[in-house]
Chain A
Amino acid sequence: MKLLSVNDLSLQNEGYFAFKHVAFSLAQNEIIGIDGDNGSGKSQLLEAIANNFVSDSGTIEYTPGVRIGYLPQVNPEEIDQTVASYLEDIRQLSKDLAVRKEQLKGMITFLGISPYLNRSVRQLSTGLKRQVDFLAAVCGHPNVLLLDEPFAFQTRESIKKMLELINDLKDNGAGVIIACTEFGDDIKKVIDTEYCFSDGILKKNTQENIKQCQLIFSVYPNSIAITHDIEQYMVENVNNRIEMQVPLRIKDSIIKEMTQLNYRFEEVKNIES
């Protein structure tokens, strides 16, 4: 079931397009990933979907009963309350539709912020504040969850736990939109549909426009012959220098394999095709 549809949405800021002619839809049990450079329009699009401002043209259709949970890129609110009372207050805003009190407790323990429950939110580090904001977005049990750079300032372990919670929500019928400057391999695994924002235009990420990167290795005297599965990515092999063009998502595994074959990794350059 569709939760929301964005139809030909455009927004201008002081004569410049923040985004133009954006169209996509979000369904239940779907996670959409939107990546793009800084200033490409991701946050503005999420703000428009969260209904914080009105776009210049186009429409957003919300299915009746949609409740939005939103984690903004930066939350300017200064919260003097303790983590426990703040999250409980926010949970109670959604009344019976929110997660149960015990569930919230479970999420807090799972994310590892139990030791900070009695600390005031404004005293927390940026990373911890972000986790509290994430829980504040999730604890109302929204059926549309908008996450703007949710993994900023987070350790790999925290990202993994947040992704598990996001997946849980998805399995319970929610639709999720995650906007990030770049998705790591762990995050890509949970994304069902990936879009890329470039100069205010949203494109579905297909094989043709997936970002690629160029890897450069140097050859040692004891380097072993390159296997057939890696060879397909090689674009040049001159003067003991190997140049490869590989999709960004398999960059790490290629570097690992080449290192195991005794090639020295020299550098990486991102390419957008």
Chain B
Amino acid sequence: MKVKILLRSYLQMFFQNFLYLTSLFTIIAFGLMAGHLLNISELKKYSLLLISIFLLSLLSTMNLYYNDSKRNIYLKQKVNSYWADVLSQFLVALITNTFSAVLIFIFSLILNQDLLLDVIGIFALFSCGMLGSAIATLFKTQWYHHSSLGQVGVLVFVYLAFSGSVIDLLNHVEFILPPLSKMIMTLQLEASITKLLPTAIQAFLYSIILFLVSSFFYKKSKNN
């Protein structure tokens, strides 16, 4: 019941806010038109869609936590369960990123009869979305107690997500960096969406770890 109440509230906030749906349909429109307008290959378009869904879920999840900090304080007091709250936030990320990934992939016109390509294509988009949501969750303190720390944290993580595989200096520590740029580089080198599977799994696991770290970190700070 606790999770149901919180999940309903979060989904309502997520989908009723103009930011998420407007951005999602902008990305869908880009997916439909990019090939014709910019004359780019499907792989380049897909790389741009990966970056777009990452930014979409990062901004939408940050916006969710902002609205949550403003509106849900008394609801959370009634629910009075930290873990129900954490689980609801994770479920929101799963639901919204699945929704975004499926829609973006279908309307990107990359969809074809090769089922494996379709599934991996959607999964890779979903993983990038989860990565964005996980970074926003890790630094949600920007809307609660430490606004500067949260903002700087998001900036650093987004920079590392984009630069991990691009800057040689970071090659040695690439495995601890958000693997977004690794996915883009893999796609450019391997020239196949199906080859993205290992990196997409890595991105998904990375986001799960970030969710776990943030849940225990905020549990600790709540106790303090």
Contacts and interface: CB of A to CB of B under 8 A. Distances in A.
Contacts of B80: 93
Contacts of B75: 77
B1 A92 contact: yes
Interface in B1-17: 1-2, 4-5, 8-9, 12
The DSSP consensus for interface residues of chain A is loop
A44 to B, nearest CB: 14
Contacts of B12: 78, 80
A259 interface: no
B70 A136 contact: no
Range for the number of chain B residues in contact with chain A: 10 to 19
B73 A52 contact: yes
Contact of A93 (B71, B72, B73, B78): B78
Contact of A90 (B8, B9, B78): B78
A76 B77 contact: no
Contacts of A89: 1, 4-5
A72 B71 CA distance: 12
A187 B14 CA distance: 42
B33 to A, nearest CB: 34
B78 A140 contact: yes
Nearest to B5: A89
A66 B72 CA distance: 22
Interface in B52-87: 70-75, 77-80
Interface string A67-97: 0101010011110110000000110110000
Contacts, number: 35
A51 interface: yes
A70 B5 contact: no
B71 A52 contact: no
A190 interface: no
Contacts of A75: 74
A37 to B, nearest CB: 24
Interface string A121-155: 00000000000000010001000000000000000
Nearest to B4: A89
Nearest to B75: A77
Contact of B74 (A77, A81, A140): A77
B71 A76 contact: yes
A70 B77 contact: yes
B79 to A, nearest CB: 6
Contact of A72 (B1, B8, B74, B79): B74
Contact of A136 (B4, B71, B78): B78
Contacts of B9: 77
A50 interface: yes
Among A52, A72, A76, A136, find the residue whose CB has the most chain B CB atoms closer than 10 A.
A76
Nearest to A68: B77
B78 A51 contact: no
Interface of A: 50-52, 68, 70, 72, 75-78, 80-81, 89-90, 92-93, 136, 140
11 contacts: A51-B77, A70-B77, A76-B73, A77-B9, A77-B72, A78-B71, A80-B12, A89-B5, A93-B2, A93-B5, A93-B78
